[in-house]
Each structure stands twice: as structure tokens, then as C-alpha cells.
Amino acid sequence: MKIDLDKYNKRLLAIIGTTVIVITVGSVLIGAIAFAVDQISRANRHDQSDVMTIEQDDDTTVVTNQPVIRKYEISMNNLELIDSASATYIIPIGHIKLETSELIDGETTNFGSGSSRGYGSKKFSGGSGLGFFNNMIIYKGKEEVSHVVFKSKTVIMSYFTIWINNELLIIFQGVSKDSNGDKGLTNSDFNSLFVYHVESKVIDEVSIEGASINSSTFLRDLSKIMITCTKDKNDNGEWEHDEPKVLYTYDFNTKKLSPAVSPKNTSAMQKMLDK
């Protein structure tokens, strides 16, 4: 039987071509699906880590023998070495928001059904961290002791460690006051800096009336930090990205906060702009 090689080769090439196209299209579809799943996962993680609210009660009076409604449960992150010589570590503390509140009365606890959202670190390494925490633990490995940094409800956005005059300091940026009156502590409230002295366990709070501290840069040779503040121009108790920025310096030796640009120069530049 005579075989038409030309027709055979054409059919074979057509089959191979079709197979290659199917494989290519399938790979593209699989890749697109995987990418979409990854983006959704990232979006969920972003939503969980970039928004943090801790409810703040107006009444801060301590009442004994009264039931406590627990809405959050603390969650400990991995410890990070901040001083190798003394084996001192920092442990960032996040929290889990409970799906069902727990009634705590000292004897009986009605447990909720799991949790809905957790808050913790986005990144922390090398003596600095970004995230949303509600406290910090300092753990001293050689002494096997630990202590709590903040004694009142606080939302911590970031931190970094520095040495000033042979003293280890931790600089926290966070929120401790409900400046916008929404009964929660969030990043929208005015941010402050908290200078924590590791050995003496003392905290110095640095804040500016009517403004939010939003970033800081360590001026190593001057034992100072440069602070960027956002003025609450519309007086709503929140800082917004399109509001004016002002720079201050904070001196660790004198604990003095000063404008980085003199009021005289600021006024002169404003007058030029007004003309």
C-alpha cells in the first residue's frame, strides 16, 4: 500500500502544533489562576496587618469584683535579639480579636468560638520593626527575667533600637490616646514617640499638640532624631496625608523638642508664598 508521505507529515505537524498550543494555553491559565490566588491572599494579609483598632473605653476607672468582657487575646511574636552582650531580646505582642466575647469573672470563663483576625508583625529584624502591636516584652536571657514595656493600652506602629552614651534605647512610634473620639486606638489618631530606656525601664513620651508624629530619623553624630509631624489643619483629631508637615528635632541628652526650622524662617517662607 502506497503511503502519501506529504499528507502524513502535514497531519503529524498539525497534531504536534495543536498539542503545543493546548499545553501553552493550559500553562497560561494555570499561571493566571495561581497569580490571582496569590493576590487575593496578599490582599487579605494586607487588610489584616495594615488596619488595627483596639476599642477604648471612656471610663478608665478601675472597678473590682465586676465581670470583664474579653474581646481580644494577646498573641506573642518571635523574639528578636537587641543586645548580644547581655542577651537581651524584644518580644512584640500582637492580639487576636475574638469572634465571640468571653465573660471573665475570676472563676468562670465562657470561651468564644475561635478568632477572626490577628495582628502582629509585618517585618522586624536587625533591631527594628514595622507592624501593629499592642505591647512589648523585654526578655533578658542571662537572668531569665522579662518585663512589660507599656503599662497602658497602646498601639505600636514601628520601633528601632539605638545606643546613646552607652545606653540602649528603644524608640517606639504609636498611639496611646483616642484623639479623634471614635472610641478606638488606630493609626488615624495622633501618633507619638516613646523613648524606652532598657536598663531603667523608664519611658519618655514625645508628642506635639495638634499634630501627629509620622516618621523619625536618627542623627547619629548629634544624639538627636529628626521628627516629621503632620499638622491637624482641619481640626478633626486625625492626621491626613495631604495636611502640612513640620520638622522637629528631639535631643536625647536634654530631652528637648525643638523646631528644625526656626519660626522666623518658616514665617518668611510663608510670606513669600502668600504674595
For residue range 130-152, list pLDDT tens digits in order. 667 889 999 999 999 999 999 99
Of 156 and 19, more confident: 156
Strands 128-133 and 167-175: unpaired
For residue range 86-124, list pLDDT tens digits in order. 899 999 998 887 777 666 654 333 333 333 344 444 443
Q: In whole angstroms, how far apart are CA 263 and each of 28, 71, 270?
A: 60, 46, 10
Task: Encode burial over 115-129: b for 16+ CB neighbours within 10 A, e otherwise.
Answer: eebebbbeebeebbb
Burial of 158 (0-12, 13-18, 19+ CB in 10 A): buried
CA-nearest of 212, 92, 93, 211 to 161 is 92
pTM (predicted TM-score): 0.68
Predicted confidence band of residue 70 (pLDDT cuts 50, 70, 90): confident
Residue 36 has pLDDT above 90, yes or no: no
Of 146 and 12, more confident: 146
In one letter, which amino acid is 19? T
